[in-house]
Structures are given as C-alpha cells and as structure tokens.
Amino acid sequence: MTALLTLLLLVGLARAVPEPEEDLDADGYTTSAGDCDDLAPEIHPGAAEVLDGVDNDCDFMVDEGTSAYDDDRDGWTEDGGDCDDGNPLSYPGAFEWTDGLDNDCDGVVDEGTLVYDDDGDGWTEEAGDCDDARADVFPGATEVIDGWDQDCDGRVDEGTTAFDDDGDGWSEEGGDCDDADVWSYPGGAEFADGRDNDCDGEVDEDTDVSDDDGDGYSEADGDCADADAARYPGAPELPDGLDDDCDGRVDEGTTAYDDDGDGWTEDEGDCDDESRVVYPGAPELVDDEDQDCDGQVDEGTVAYDDDGDGWTEDEGDCNDANAFIYPQATEQPDLLDNDCDGVVDEGTELYDDDGDGLSEAQGDCDDLDREVYPDAPERNDGQDNDCDGAVEQYTGWSCAAAPGTGAGAGLVLVGALVARRRRRRVTPPGR
C-alpha cells in the first residue's frame, strides 16, 4: 500500500513541473517575471522611464519620473512648472513655507515668510524687521518724520522733532529745546542746573546762579537785589534807603546813614559821623572839636570863653556866662564876684571891707576901719566912729563938739569922703 502511494506521488510531481518560459525580447525578463511587453526589450521591470507615453518600467505608471509626469500628485509636472516634483508642497503658486524650499517655484526660497528679507534691507521679520515690505524700515534704521516706526522699536518718529522723546508733553516742533531732558520744555520751571529749563533762550534766569540784572553778580555770588543792576557786592552806597553794596547795611558811608551809631546822620546834622561823641546836642568836651555841631568848638566847657569877655574858666573866669565877670574885672555892687577872686562885691558899697559887720551901703562911714560903723563906740580919736556925722570929743564923762564945728566940720566931712574913695580899687574891664 505504501509503495503504491509513493508511485502515485512521483507521477503527479512529474506532471506538475512546467516547461521553461521563453524571454521573447531577450531583455532578461519574461512575462511571468513582470515584463509587461515581452516583445519590446526597452520595456521591463526597472527599465528607465522615458517620456513616450509607455509604461517602460512595468510599474503600471506611464512616464513617471519624467518632466511630463506629476510624480508628487500635486497637480503639476515639471513640464508644467513644478520645480520639485518629489514634494507635493512645491508647485507654481503654492503657499511659501518657512522650510528652506522654493514652494511656489518662483526661484526664491521662503519669500514672504518671517525668515526671508523681502525688502532687501538686510533684515528679516524673524530678525526684527517690523515691515519687510519697506527697505527703509528695519532695526536701527534712522527714524524720520513720516508716521512710521523706521527702527522697529515700537515707537513712531522718536528722536525726530515731531516726537516727545523725553515724555514731558512737548516735542521739538512744539518748542522743546532739549527733548532728551524731561525738565526742559516751554514754560517749565527754571532750575539752577546750567540748562534752559523753560526754553526761553536763557540759562538759569531768575535762579540764584543767574545774573538777572547784568551787573556781574548772581544771588549765589552775593547779589542782594538781582533785579537791580545798581545793587551788588562792592557797589557804591547811595543815600536811597537801599543796601546798594549788599553788606547788610543801608546807606552806610552816605549822608543818610548813622555811620558812628550815635543816633544822628549827616543829613540830620551830624558834623562828624565817624565819632560817636559828635552829634547835634551832644555834650561839648574840651578837645578842640565841635561835639554838638553848632559851629562852635568847646563852647560851654572850661576851655571856651562863652561870654566873650576874653577869659575862659580854665583861665580863671568864675562865671563864663557873664561878660562882666572875669579875673581883674572891676568889682561891682551886684552881689557877684566880678573879679573872680573868691570875694563878692569887695571894695564896693555892698561889701564889709573892714569886717566890722556893716558895709558902706549899710551906713559904715569908713569901711576900712573896723572901729568905725554906725553906733560904734565913739572914741577920742578925731574920727566919727559911730558914723553919725559928728566927731565927738570926750572930756571926762562929757563930750563936746570938736573945735572947728561949723565951717571946720564941713571940711572934716569932705576929707572923710575923699579918703573912702581912695580905698576903692578901680580896675578897668579886661586884662
């Protein structure tokens, strides 16, 4: 049984082996080997596809890989303008991608994308070009007044005269004289900073460091009135009620100032405003100066002849307010010491010359004799001791008129008067 089965198997295998197939076009491929045209030796699997409308490589595609075939099935052949027929994203009119390829087949790679410098200014959008359609717009470009952001910093026209660069509300076209300084603009407050803060063409005017009045000094230099060119340190002081030289004093050194501090100015009559003891009404001193400014020197002092009698108190005038009183003046019966000898009315009728207690005015008929005065005891001496006009002669306890009574008595009276006159000192006024 086994043997029979083996015999039958061998017979079947012998019948199943086909006869060898013939390669009709001798191109190395038979029909069963995939030759889709075994009569054309240029057609077989792996043959080069040529532009002939025939499937040369027997892959069931005609002219694939040639310029007439749309290899990437994007609808375009190379003959139709597809610049990369192996990439379905590349064909004429395709959207340009940022992929380093010429997607739209216009000969330019990545144009219109962020990595392409579309305007030829050297900058792409990816590198910071904020308008890649304008060659004058790119990072670092010069900003001009046109309403565009040339330098791509997010600001428009900055750095130009139309832009408020410092943010103070004013542009250069609006009058800002320093658009990099927020403290400088028209009408700004002027500071002492060496800048024209208010843009009026002047620097630091009306501040302490500016010479506002043009006198060469600022307030910082000591000018106490920088709006008045006549007032500055060292200026001539004028009698104007102002501190012209800025030393803190008003009108000093002028006729309107009390230079010596005595309460009087030259305008008020001070004749020496450098001396505190000289002013109108000052006490006069013995110093050859006119202290009270009345035009007289030392008047009212012991060195001045106040009464014009030729004598001063220093020279012995005991009353320099009376021209009739001075040394050697004639003594007058006026209860004054006219001759300044310390004795009043001596040698006159009012003075008791002999010290008997009575003067001639009081009836002393011989004021040089202490034993002669009214009611004096009468002596037997040929004198009228009691001044009763009679010369009594005593005889024992009685008395009688002296011989010569009558005419003789008259002669005696005359002699007495002459003697009294001789006793008086007669001295002319003056020396």
Q: Within a domain: residue 250?
A: no
Tokens encoding 82: 């597809």
Q: Which of the listed residues 51, 66, 81 is the one where a domain comes to its end?
A: 66
**Predicted local confidence at residue 394, as pLDDT:** 56
Domain boundary among 66, 85, 111: 66
Question: In this predicted structure, what is the pLDDT of residue 411?
Answer: 40
Note the pLDDT of residue 53: 87
409 within domain boundaries: yes
Long-range CB pairs of 359-366 (<8 Å, 24+ gap) are 360/420, 361/333, 363/387, 365/416, 365/420, 366/416, 366/419, 366/420
Whether 10 is in a domain gets the answer yes
Q: Number of helices (H) and strands (E), helices first, in the chain?
A: 2, 2
pLDDT in tens, 98-116: 999 999 999 999 999 999 9
Residue 178 is assigned to a structural domain of this protein: no
Domain that holds residue 62: 1-66
Taking alpha carbons only, the member of 153, 173, 178 closest to residue 163 is: 173
Residue 223 burial (CB < 10 Å; 0-12/13-18/19+)?
A: buried
User: Given the DSSP bridges, would you call strands 398-401 and 392-395 parallel, antiparallel or unpaired?
Assistant: antiparallel
Sign of CA dihedral 273, 277, 280, 285: negative
406 within domain boundaries: yes
Give me the pLDDT at residue 424, please. 42
Pick the last residue of a domain from 66, 92, 109.
66
Nearest-angstrom CA–CA distance, 206 and 134: 50
How far apart (Å, rounded) are the C-alpha atoms in residues 429 and 132?
131
Look at residue 15 and tell me if it is in a domain.
yes
- Give me the residues of the chain with pLDDT under 50, please: 395-431
Task: Please report whether residue 135 resides in a domain.
Answer: no
Question: 425 vs 64, 353, 373, CA distance in Å?
Answer: 181, 12, 21
Q: Please tell me whether residue 393 adopts helix, strand or coil conformation.
A: strand
| C-alpha R_g of the chain | 76
Say how far apart CA 282 and CA 270 lie, in whole Å. 10
For residues 192 and 198, what is the distance between their CA atoms, to the nearest angstrom?
12
* Helix, strand and coil percent figures for the chain, each rounded to 5: 10, 0, 90
| pLDDT for residue 323 | 95
Q: How many domains does the chain contain in total?
A: 2
Domain membership of residue 31 (yes or no) is: yes
What CA–CA distance (Å, rounded) separates 151 from 149? 6
Task: Give CA–CA dist 238/88, Å, rounded.
Answer: 104
